[in-house]
């Protein structure tokens, strides 16, 4: 999330990625792809989470949308 949170912004679990930070759904899928590669998880391309997740929901969605060691 570093490209979206920069000084003076501080991430909060209740921040909404789409409606508040205007992160495009395609970018959210891209973040999931990058996450899977970085942490050795498998991403099948299907997002299993809220359409406008909070930061906390996004973390849960990443876990639900990927599998791995």
Identify the CA nearest to 61 among candidates 35, 50, 14: 50
Give the model's pLDDT for residue 16: 94
**Looking at the chain, how many residues does it have?**
69
- pLDDT, averaged across the chain: 88
Report pLDDT digits (tens) over 50-65: 889 999 999 999 989 8
What is the model's pTM?
A: 0.81
Kindly state the DSSP code that residue 52 receives in the 8-state scheme. S
């Amino acid at each position: 999330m570093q490209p979206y949170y920069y000084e003076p912004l501080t991430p909060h679990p209740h921040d909404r990625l789409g409606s508040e930070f205007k992160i495009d759904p395609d970018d959210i899928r891209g973040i999931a792809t990058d996450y899977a590669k970085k942490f050795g998880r498998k991403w099948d391309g299907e997002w299993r989470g809220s359409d406008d997740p909070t930061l906390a929901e996004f973390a849960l969605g990443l876990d639900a949308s990927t599998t791995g060691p």
